[in-house]
Chains A and B, each alone.
Chain A
């Protein structure tokens, strides 16, 4: 079933950012939420992870409504924020154990997966390190491991490549594919459209709090008379269009 967002309107107190946003992230699909700054990408994600209460509309994941059963909904999500968030006083290992415990996942079973990921991101010898000793990229890798080890039905990634070296970027793409192949859904935001076009199933273009386009990368490129590898120019076209309108 996956994630279904239907007519979502909402935002922060006194500031209604989203207006009737509707889109789906079906099981096994990779969907990228794109838009200029202020388009409503972060607000949409904050709604999906349950940090904001919808003014109108529904958010459902595999048939569970966020408002009616918040814990049931949120326990199906793994989230990677744009900026890494860590506890200063916890080691890398403790972060991972806490995340598993909070998701009520058996530590022994999931730990094997965690170890594979730690090895993949070359952090397997840093389990006892505190965040203060981590570089920016390492912090981001901790976020990735914390999320991917959960094998959650929906993984939300806010700007997946930020601060990562090229090796890690390739690893992330592989992991995203693995998730989708397992039947889990992936929702991500990105500004790197041309790179994302190589692996996402759908783009959802947000503009001024509304969904302006939903379709495959090919469809988006065709609609804007661009080649797939030229999709990074899409926002320039949007800007130009806006300038013409005003």
Chain B
């Protein structure tokens, strides 16, 4: 195995893994979600574009703000992909120069490609709205595309630069690495201000600005470029480089884990001290396994955020489809509850895999009951909040139907789905 071909080898492996996960992803849940989310999104977008024809409506400052926020969200996608692995700090540390010149160069090209695709997608989605705003000719739209993509390239170069251990005289260190202020400045404030400026420009002004921007970007590129002489002085900060790659990989796995069970996910926890009093109250007088499941859930960095995101997606869909037929809302409400339970199952399996849990002298039936109670602790607020939202946006006579639907789904989850699937997972 040669160092030169290492990146390609890893890229091939990563693509293979992604294809495998995509196959897992395109299961019933994801198709269901795609159908509902895409359908709702397209319907809502079409309605928005056709219902409002007045110029003043589209020239509102709110639309400017929405487009800028959307493009800023886009800028957060497409990070540096290096595929570095923890063992690299041992096996590759003697060859930083080649890694910087060849491996990282390939990583940069791949990341630039992915990042450009992401930016194009985000611009394409907002383009119809931009067109109705002031950005109504191709040259202005073109400048916007150039700006967003080139800014993203600069961010990638900056990210790469942070992976180097450099002599202090070569570093312009304004912030501590990964300081929140740095992220806010370079990922939001600077691009947000520039985007606001660009969207407000006239065609002539934007033609001049494109040249000024490209000149400025060229200077920054020159500063971050890794020349032969610079690369001799650089070393890779392997701890940072491998942890950056791990975080990046985790993000991809998180996405897949939204709708499919991803095996071998590295586990991280967050203390979340602020939940302690709530945990204490909820677990008071309860069995030890209930306490264990709930505490693990509260400190988990995968499942809990996922549940919250799923709930928020459900809420957004229900609000976006306020004029949709009742059966669609029923499906969404049921799907949210089902997906939340589906995402919680790894908590049971993972806890069971721990030797400490297996040593606790409690029968499987009791364990399942404890887990089911934890599922209820999550499901009840979800059902109540959905009910309240539906109460506000749908006719009053429909709300009991939604409530009953969710209660039936919850009953099925508790009585059939959880026992069946936990049994399936126990080998």
Contacts of A52 in B (CB 8 A): 165
Interface string of B210-226 (1 = CB under 8 A from A): 00000000000000000
Main secondary structure on B side of the interface with A:
helix
Instruction: Choose from B1, B97, B234 the contact partner of A97 (Cβ within 8 Å).
Output: B1
Given contacts A71-B232, A87-B87, A94-B1, contact A49 B167 (CB under 8 A): no
B91-116 interface mask toward A, CB cutoff 8 Å, 1 = contact, 0 = none? Answer: 11111111000000000000000000
CB-CB under 8 A from A94, the residues of chain B are 1
Say yes or no for B177: interface residue by CB 8 A criterion. Answer: yes
In the complex, B19 has a CB within 8 A of chain A: no
Complex: A79 Cα to B235 Cα, angstroms: 17
A50-B235, A51-B239, A87-B85 known; A74-B3 Cβ under 8 A: no
Contact A102 B165 (CB under 8 A): no
Question: By the criterion CB–CB under 8 Å, are B233 and A50 in contact?
Answer: no
Q: Which residue of A lies closest to B5 (CB)?
A: A101
The answer to the question of B176 belonging to the interface, with a C-beta cut-off of 8 Å to chain A, is: yes
Contact of A99 among B86, B91, B235 (CB under 8 A): B91
Contacts of A13 in B (CB 8 A): 176-177
- Whether the Cβ atoms of B89 and A51 lie closer than 8 Å is yes
Instruction: List residues 89-113 of chain A with CB under 8 A from any CB of chain B.
Output: 89-90, 94-95, 97-99, 101-104
Question: For residue A53, which residues in chain B have a CB less than 8 angstroms away from its CB?
Answer: 165-168
Residue B238, interface by CB 8 Å: yes
Interface residues of B in 11-25 (CB under 8 A from A): 13
| Shortest Cβ gap from A216 to chain B (Å) | 31
Contact yes or no, A102 B176, CB < 8 A: no
In chain A, residues 30-68, which have Cβ atoms closer than 8 Å to a Cβ of chain B?
A: 49-53, 66-68
Identify which of B1, B166, B176, B232 contacts A101 (C-beta below 8 A).
B1
CB distance from A83 to the nearest CB of B (A): 10
A73 to B165, CA, bound (A): 14
* Min C-beta distance of B56 to chain A, whole Å: 52
CB <8 Å contact, A101 and B93? no
Interface size on B, residues (CB 8 A): 31
Whether B91 pairs with A95 at a CB distance below 8 angstroms is yes
List A contacts of B168 (CB < 8 A): 53
Contact of B94 among A71, A86, A90, A143 (CB under 8 A): A71
Q: Is the CB of B237 within 8 A of A77?
A: no
- The answer to whether the Cβ of A69 comes within 8 Å of any Cβ in the partner chain is yes
User: Does A70 sit at the interface, judged by CB under 8 A?
Assistant: yes
Closest to A90 in B: B1
B90 CB within 8 Å of chain A? yes
Residues 265-291 of B contacting A (Cβ, < 8 Å): none
Inter-chain contacts of B13 with A (CB < 8 A):
89
Q: Is the CB of A75 within 8 A of B94?
A: yes
Pairwise interchain contact A74-B93, C-beta atoms closer than 8 A: yes
Asked if A162 CB lies within 8 Å of chain B CBs, one says no
Which of A75, A81, A101 sits near B90, CB closer than 8 Å? A81
Closest Cβ–Cβ distance, residue A65 to chain B (whole Å): 10
Output the residue of B13, B95, B176 with the most chain A CB within 10 A: B95
B2 contacts chain A at the CB level, 8 A cutoff: yes
Min C-beta distance of B20 to chain A, whole Å: 13
Is the pair B93, A50 in contact by a Cβ cutoff of 8 Å?
A: yes
Contacting residues, chain B, for A97 (C-beta < 8 A): 1
Contacts of B97 in A (CB 8 A): 71
- A237 at the A/B interface (Cβ < 8 Å)? no
A182 to chain B, nearest CB (A): 19
Chain A CB within 10 A, most for which of B92, B94, B176, B239: B94
Q: Give chain A residues whose Cβ lies under 8 Å from the Cβ of B95.
A: 71, 74-75, 102-104
Contact in complex: A70, B1 (CB < 8 Å): no
- A1 part of interface (Cβ distance < 8 Å): no
Q: What CA separation (Å) do A152 and B178 show in the bound complex? A: 35
Residue of A nearest to B96 (CB): A71
Residue numbers in B under 8 Å from A101 (CB-CB): 1-3
For A69, give its contact among B2, B85, B166, B232 (CB under 8 Å): B232
Chain A residues positioned under 8 Å from B92 (CB to CB): 98, 102
Give Cα distance in the complex from A37 to B352, angstroms: 34
CB-based contact A86/B165 at 8 Å: no
Judge if A238 is at the interface, Cβ distance under 8 Å.
no
Interface centre among B1, B93, B167 (most CB of A within 10 A): B1
Q: Does A127 contact B (CB under 8 A)?
A: no
CB pair A71–B235 under 8 Å, yes or no, is yes
10 tightest A-B contacts by CB? Answer: A70-B235, A71-B97, A85-B87, A75-B94, A102-B95, A98-B1, A74-B94, A71-B96, A87-B87, A85-B90
Q: Can you list 10 A-B contacts (CB < 8 A)?
A: A50-B235, A69-B233, A71-B235, A79-B90, A81-B90, A86-B87, A87-B91, A95-B91, A101-B2, A102-B94
Binding site for B on A (CB under 8 A): 13, 49-53, 66-71, 74-77, 79, 81, 85-87, 89-90, 94-95, 97-99, 101-104, 143, 146
12 extra interchain contacts, Cβ-Cβ under 8 A, other than A50-B96, A51-B239, A53-B167? A53-B166, A53-B168, A68-B167, A74-B93, A75-B95, A77-B94, A79-B90, A79-B93, A85-B86, A85-B87, A86-B87, A103-B94
